[in-house]
Structure 1
Amino acid sequence: MKEQKRVPKLRFEEFSGEWETKKLGLLCSKIGSGSTPSGGQEVYQQTGIPFIRSQNVINNELILDHTCIPESINSKMKGSIVKSNDILLNITGGSIGRSCVVPKGFKIGNVNQHVSIIRLKKDEPKFIQSFLASYRGQKLILRGQTGSGREGLNFQSIRGFKINIPTLTEQQKIAAFISAVDKKITQLQQKQRLLEAYKKGVMQRIFSQELRFTREDGSAYPDWEEQKMRDVAPLQRGFDLPTSKIIEGDYPVVYSNGILRKHKEFKVNAPGVITGRSGTIGQVTYINEKFWPHNTSLWVTDFKGNYPKFIYYLYHFFKLERFNAGSTVPTLNRNDVHAVKKHIPIRPEQTQIAHFLSAIDKKIAVVETQIEQTQQFKKGLLQQMFA
């Protein structure tokens, strides 16, 4: 591709010529937003006219919940009625810059003051929305923010966004391709949700003993025996690691929310199970190498003859956040955890359970990688098309 002004680095081969530079305001029949209805949340209801807020605009999609307003209020807010093919752009707060296209078939909705409606005259909405989601579009949004905290876009800033645009035919070709990539991401995310739901359901059945495993010859394992957790996998408190003594090395330091750095020394041999002692309670990590458990965490390496990966899943299923003993800062009370009685299978059945759940985790991990790769592909695509 020749280096020309207003010509993208990546382009469908049947198109040529420079793109035109236009201000977004000239392409629109409407740029505006809504307001919170009088009465605020008290007027929200489960049915009626969908009321769209910034939390409904996420991952380039419009994700509706059950927040609606009555038709009587919608009729008083005619200036902020949302239609299909509108572009919605979050213009305030931490989600500023998120955008989506209202799907075809959408009948009617309304929007609050945190979301802008961008209604085009004739151009392709998905093309313009993809530009807004691109690196260049996000830079314009960042520069256009106003206010002391610089977390707000006004309509004047939005109208002034300069966009390079091709013919409508090329816009539609680009939009169709990006939509296909978005569809792939959505399908993968749905697959991930289904796998996670399946794992949650099967864990419920396993730990309630509704689902049992058998020996290779088909014979049943013995009944699970009730034991206190202190006799199954007692939790130990982690060790302090002064910042002044942190020296990069090969051994992971495991905090309450996971591995954050490596250290030259280790405190505990593998394998181990880690859970948050303070702050992040309920997040459980399995680690299969020598490590340093930080004092924000609790750890297990004394498994009392039990299969370590099974103990990981047991604590994962345990819902440890129930044992929060802190009033302001979450703090896990390990004595309360140790006193809990759980039915535990013998080690061979534990091993089968752990291997079964690990296989599901591997499938989830594969899908997560596919999602990340597809999202990175889209990011690179947008950078080259809207450079």
Structure 2
Amino acid sequence: MQTKKRKSPSLRFRGYTDDWEERKLGEVGKTKSGIGFSDAQQGGKQGTPFYKVSDMNNPGNEVVMMNANNYASDSQLKENKWNPINPQNSGVVFAKVGAAIFLDRKRIVDTSFLIDNNMMSYLFDSSWNRYFGKTLFEKLRLSRFAQVGALPSFNGSDVEDIKVMIPEESEQKMIGDMFEKLDDIIALHQRKLDLLKEQKKGFLQKMFPKNGSRVPELRFSGFADDWEERKFFESIASTIDFRGRTPKKLGMDWSDSGYLALSALNVKNGYIDPLADAHYGDEKLYRKWMSGRELKKGQVLFTTEAPMGNVAQVPDDNGYILSQRTVAFETKEDMMTNDFLAVLLKSPLVFNNLSALSSGGTAKGVSQKSLKGLSITVPLDIDEQQKIGSFFKHLDDTIALHQRKLDLLKEQKKGFLQKMFV
């Protein structure tokens, strides 16, 4: 039995009850593909914006307007007989060839522009509210309509044949305005998060010695002694590493709840993401796996590969299973604090040295054997270590808070996209 197609969304603004109208995109707008241009024709700083697929590298669709890295001058336009695209209302641009299609990223443009031949634009006609249209394109997931072959691609007719449901203009405006405000809030939180990360990067540069130096540029008052150079494992009592261990090798399996497994996918920089690659073990699996090596609050976790170098700390004493591509360090308390170690592993010099010691092609990895060759420079005074560790721990907590807020906003937007469009 065929399901009757819905003609209105499940969540609407008060006062709107009429069915939405089904239209092909080609009936209410038009597509236009880009042009080829050589490297020598790129790099202008003013003129008509020239967009390429690389301009879509920033993830997500929250950035409303495209930011151009290249411009074409009037003389270039004339010499090459290029005709800029002139949207009457505005247009959405997206990748039309290659793997970039599957990133499903769109950007909106409302001034004259050029795009390269790996991109396509869809120009809204005057019946669209531009922000409603931009948000509808986010909901569409254009990658579903790509011609899949050796090189996935769209052509104009592929896009123009897509059927969409569209409300009257006043409802479009209500929806568009709401999503524009939501995107502005998301962008604001993203900027705050980016600023905090840049501040942390700056402090890491200044609060740890550079190569060949024994003192950092920036220190807490009351500390003036040189730092000491030593081998990494001189400060480590033991390393907990269950490389290769899986539930099946223990004759068991994951559960729907219980003790969270910590892997290279959910150990992020500065925090644990319980939603990423979430696997759980029951009491029996936890005891069999972790017996005698239980993780304690504050212990430093380090991802050894894919990705290499993420650092977080065990957040509490609730019990966790140490899983794939992640190790935990137990420090010698009289030589190094956990909080300081967590920061030290992310300091520029140590991270660069770790990268130099790592092996592998695309997915770099570092082993315990290679860690034996790692030299570190640390303050002998444990009080100085504690101050540095506490400072960065507070900063990391603030970054994690903003990250959670941002993730929540994006999840809310995803929910609204599902409920406010047909």
- Could you state the TM-score of these two structures normalised by the residue count of structure 1? 0.82
Q: Which letter does structure 1 place at the counterpart of 2:345? A: Y
Q: Does 1:365 align with 2:400?
A: yes
Partner letter of residue 354 of structure 1?
A: G
Alignment of 1:113-132 (within 5 A): 113-122=117-126, 123-132=128-137
- Equivalent in 356, 359, 366 of residue 323 of structure 1: 356
Give CA deviations for 1:245-289 in whole Å, capped at 9, x if unaligned.
Answer: 154476665555555645532246435333344453332232355
Q: Which amino acid aligns with 1:315?
A: L
> How far 1:88 sits from its partner (Å)?
1.3
- Structure 2, unaligned runs of 5 or more: 210-215, 268-276
The secondary structure found in structure 1 opposite 2:331 is: coil
Which residue is 1:17 aligned to?
A: 18
2:242–2:323: 8 Å Cα contact kept in structure 1? yes
**CA distance change for structure 1 residues 331 and 235 in 2, over 3 Å: closer, same or farther?**
farther
Which of 101, 104, 124 is the equivalent residue of 2:108? 101
**Whole-Å separation in 1 of the counterparts to 2:203 and 2:174:** 44
Gaps of 5+ in 1: 215-219
Per-residue Cα deviation, 1:34-74 (whole angstroms, up to 9, x for no partner)? 1331xx33432242443212332352234435334454554
Q: Which residue of 2 aligns with 1:45?
A: 43
Percent of residue pairs identical:
19
Distance 1:359 1:151 in 2: 46
Q: Do the aligned partners of 1:224 and 1:346 also contact (CA within 8 Å) in 2? A: no
- The alpha-carbon distance between structure 1 residues 12 and 361, as it changes in their structure 2 partners (threshold 3 A), is same
Measured in 2, the distance between the counterparts of 1:65 and 1:238 equals 47
Mean alpha-carbon deviation: is it higher for 90-99 or for 120-129?
Answer: 90-99
Counterpart in the other structure of 1:81: 85
The answer to whether the 8 Å contact 1:10/1:384 transfers is yes
When structure 1 is superposed on structure 2, of 366-375 and 295-304 the one drifting more is 295-304
Find the aligned partners of 2:321 and 2:137 in 1 and give their Cα distance.
44
- Letter of the structure 2 residue corresponding to residue 127 of structure 1: F
Deviation string, structure 1 residues 286-318 (Cα, Å, up to 9, x no partner):
235566656845542133521111111001112
Residue 237 of structure 1: how far off its partner (Å): 7.9
| Cα distance change on mapping 1:85 and 1:303 into 2, 3 Å | farther
Inter-partner Cα distance in structure 2 for 1:331 and 1:120: 48
Matches within 5 A, 1:349-364: 349-364=384-399
Root mean square deviation, CA, Å: 3.2
Quick check: 185-194 or 161-170, which moved more?
A: 161-170
Q: Which residue identity lines up with residue 17 of structure 1 in the other structure?
A: D
**CA distance in 1 between partners of 2:339 and 2:144 (Å):** 49
1:308 to 321, 327, 338: 338
Q: Counterparts of 1:299 and 1:10 in 2: how far apart (Å)?
A: 47
Contact 2:49/2:70 (CA < 8 Å) preserved in 1?
Answer: yes
What is the CA–CA distance in structure 1 between the aligned matches of 2:54 and 2:86, rounded to whole Å?
Answer: 16
Distance 2:175 2:20 in 1: 13
Number of equivalenced pairs: 370
Q: Is the 8 A contact 1:22 1:162 kept in 2?
A: yes
1:6 lines up with 2:7 in the alignment: yes
User: Partner amino acid for 2:170?
Assistant: T
Partner of 1:217: none
Alignment of 1:123-162 (within 5 A): 123-134=128-139, 137-138=140-141, 141-148=142-149, 151-162=152-163
Residue 159 (structure 1) shift = 0.8
Secondary structure, counterpart of 1:319 in structure 2: helix
Cα distance in 2 for partners of 1:350, 1:42 equals 52
**2:366 aligned with 1:332, yes or no?**
yes
Deviation at 1:355, TM superposition (A): 1.6
Structure 1: which amino acid aligns with 2:82? Answer: K
- Separation (CA, whole Å) in 1 of partners of 2:237 and 2:69: 44
- What one-letter code is carried by the residue in structure 1 that aligns with 2:409? T
Partner of 1:376: 411
CA shift, 1:349, in A, is: 2.1
Cα shift at 1:239 = 3.5
CA spacing shift, 1:361–1:242, aligned 2, 3 Å: closer
Counterpart Cα distance in 1 of 2:52 and 2:397: 36
- Does the Cα contact within 8 Å between 1:23 and 1:162 map onto a contact in 2? yes
CA contact (8 A) 1:86 1:119 kept: yes
Instruction: Tell me the residue number matched to 1:54.
Output: 53
Contact 2:97 2:151 in 1 (8 A): no
Give, in whole Å, the separation in 2 of the partners of 1:79 and 1:147.
Answer: 30
Amino acid at match of 1:109: F
